[in-house]
Amino acid sequence: MPGMSGPDLAARVMVACPQIKVLYASGYTDGAIVDHGALVKGVQFIGKPYTITGLTHKVREVLDAPAQASRAAHR
């Protein structure tokens, strides 16, 4: 996304819709992203490449998680 990062977009959307669930996807491993400060530990993340089954399971996990936990992880 030119001009905005995924976490910046998520923060803006959460202002308008505080209960929204966020799932990040990246070609980098979750450890590499967290280690470089791109995401806070505890943020919902799926690494690429992923399978349809893997994505389905991860989306279900995110949807079933409490919204408060998801929101706190982005701070």
Summarised one tens digit per residue, pLDDT across range 4-25 is 888 889 889 999 998 899 998 8
Q: How confident is the model at residue 48 (pLDDT cuts 50, 70, 90)?
A: confident
- Domain for residue 12, yes or no? yes
Least confident of 13-17, 25-29, 37-41, 53-57: 37-41
Is 1 contained in some domain? no
Decide if 46 is inside a domain: yes
- Full residue range of the structural domain in which residue 65 is found: 6-72
The pTM for the full model equals: 0.68
Go through 7-26 and write b for each residue having 16 or more CB atoms within 10 A of its CB, e for each that does not.
beebeeebeeeeeebbbbee
Number of domains comprising the chain: 1
